[in-house]
Structure 1
Amino acid sequence: MPPTARELASGPYPGAENLSLDRDGHTAVLTIDRPAKRNAMTAEMWAALPGVLAGPAADPAVRVLVVTGAGPSFCAGADIAGLLGGPDAQDPMAEVRAHNLAAQAALRAFPKPTVAMIRGHCIGGGVEIAASCDLRFADRSSVFGVTPSKVGIVYPPSSTRALVDLVGPATTKYLLFSGELLDADDALRTGLVDRLVEPADLEDEVRRFADVLAARSALTQRATKEIVAALTEGTDAEAVATPRYRETITAGELPEGVAAFAERRPPRFGWTG
């Protein structure tokens, strides 16, 4: 098991004490753990996130990452109290913005499937975290909003692109222009959420789906992430897909999958990356 977030916090990642890392079978669960502030992210928490993710990313026993929040909220965004605390008077948000963008990039680059498990408030930076995951499961208590227009912030291009990829240009503009909130049904309708369940069922449904992902080919999943990223970024997807396809053969994933299908048994995939 990789080091816990608390152990990381005592080392090179101050702020990680509010990022709880646990494991449930093949699933790592990263919990934003600041419930008294609806799990608002401080600059230190943004800065710690890439280091916290490095452990489960490198652990071959971890097949899936679930990201959630402690208590009744997912994440209410960035902690406004520290938003303008940077040392550069001309750009007081420079430091927190850099940490925020690095955290999102680390989550997008996580080499295994990632699922945001959302309840309650998912606002601002919470939407950035959720949008950086591969999939988003939410319960009907969830409320979503992207609020830079309320505080005069220019939303970063990478975060805007993530929203556009999920909900399209018009809904992205609606959210960013107005700062108005979407309820869970509207989030599902617009594509911001992939699955919507009753509050009592959320954890069980995410756990069930994580077990499904853990039973599938990790090589196929990693190749899928890389190919989708190449397609959305406009880079050469064939250059990504071809070596990964060959790897499914040399790693034994494709022969095992075909044999399991023919023998009507669950496949026993062994590739861990």
Structure 2
Amino acid sequence: MSAPITAAAPSSDALVLASIANSIGTITLNNSTRRNALSEVLLDQVIAALDDFKTKEVRVVILRAFEGATVWSAGHDIKELPQANQDPLGYSDPLERALRAVRAFPAPVIAMVHGSVWGGAFDLVASCDMIIADETCSFAITPANLGLPYNTTGLMHFLGRLPINLVKELFFTAAPIKGNDAYKWGIVNHLVPSAELEAFTTDFATKITKKAPLAISVAKEQLRILTDYQPIAAQIFEQLQEMRRTVYDSKDYTEGIQAFLQKRPAVFTGK
């Protein structure tokens, strides 16, 4: 039997807690005051934990929120997004770096989800290899609420997991998709009762630790390469970037960010 996964109380000063037991590394998002918003500091701590796990040959990683969190993560820290005339999701953005770290980690990463997952946190969860969740879970991708042009890489993450009609619904409506529907559409691998979530996830991870780690690592990397590297002609990529630039240079993007920070409904004009 593996040791139980213990999430520390959110009173700790650390935004991310990391622990290892029986070859299972656990990363706990621990910022209760900001609903685990994905700030640069928090994401750097996630990346650092993954780097440490790599050196210690962890065989499975569980990514979770602190115990009792009703919001798994509120998504990208909006206060850190540029307000105008700059790509909000460039290659060096902290969230983009964290997504690459999760996807390239040489062992399976399991997202254990209790509560709601918003915006960029949905991309983070979807970048994990598997998702185990309970009946409290919901998932929403919300750039349409901000007038934010989501990047092509992020769209490809969703296209790699979900049918295009569902991807369109998620991005066009920004509406949350709840547990049963998330399971039906294959967002979630396993949907279990809340009281069983930790035990089920621990047992699931423990089974993986008993398998051949090199074979699993190579299979993960092969699948990442096959799904990540879709050929796109240079001029098409440039066209996509130009389309995105018209959005983050727009009045709507400025309005979306300001409305969020001012806690009022945004008024979009399409300009």
Q: TM-score, normalised by structure 1?
A: 0.74
In the alignment, the residues of structure 1 paired with residue 179 and residue 91 of structure 2 have an alpha-carbon distance, to the nearest angstrom, of: 29
Query: Does structure 1 conserve the Cα–Cα contact (< 8 Å) formed by 2:38 and 2:95?
Result: no
Q: Does 1:65 align with 2:61?
A: yes
Gaps of 5+ in 1: 1-15, 236-273
Residue 78 of structure 2, aligned match among 58, 77, 80: 80
Equivalent pair of 1:75/1:126 in contact (CA under 8 Å): yes
* CA distance in 1 between partners of 2:18 and 2:44 (Å): 16
- Of 192, 198, 203, the residue aligned with 2:198 is 203
Say if 1:138 and 1:94 are closer, same or farther in 2 by CA, change over 3 A. Answer: closer
The aligned residue for residue 40 of structure 2 is: 43
- C-alpha distance in 1 between matches for 2:167 and 2:195: 30
Structure 1 residue 52 corresponds to structure 2 residue 49: yes
3-state SS in 2 of match to 1:193: coil
What does the per-residue CA deviation read over 1:126-149, in whole Å, with 9 as the maximum and x for residues that have no partner?
A: 111111110000000001100000
**Which structure has the highest helix share of the two?**
1
Q: Where in structure 2 are there 5+ consecutive unaligned residues?
A: 1-12, 231-271
Amino acid in the other structure paired with 1:34:
N
Q: Which of 1 and 2 has higher RCO (CA within 8 Å, sep 6+)?
A: 2
What does the per-residue CA deviation read over 1:49-90, in whole Å, with 9 as the maximum and x for residues that have no partner?
A: 322310001212x211000011323212112233237xxx63
Q: Comparing 203-212 with 226-235, which one deviates more in the overlay?
A: 226-235
1:39 and 1:96 map into 2 onto residues whose CA distance is: 22
Matching residue of 1:264: none
Deviation at 1:96, TM superposition (A): 9.6
Q: Between the two proteins, what is the percent identity of the paired residues?
A: 26
Q: What amino acid maps onto 2:52 in structure 1?
A: G
Distance 2:146 2:41 in 1: 21
2:224 is the alignment partner of 1:226: no
Q: How does 1:59-208 map to 2 (within 5 A)?
A: 59-60=56-57, 62-70=58-66, 71-72=68-69, 73-84=71-82, 90-91=85-86, 93=88, 98-208=93-203
Q: Contact 2:40/2:95 (CA < 8 Å) preserved in 1?
A: yes
Sort the Cα spacing of 1:158 and 1:96 in 2 relative to 1 into closer, same or farther, 3 A. Answer: closer
- Structure-2-length-normalised TM-score: 0.75
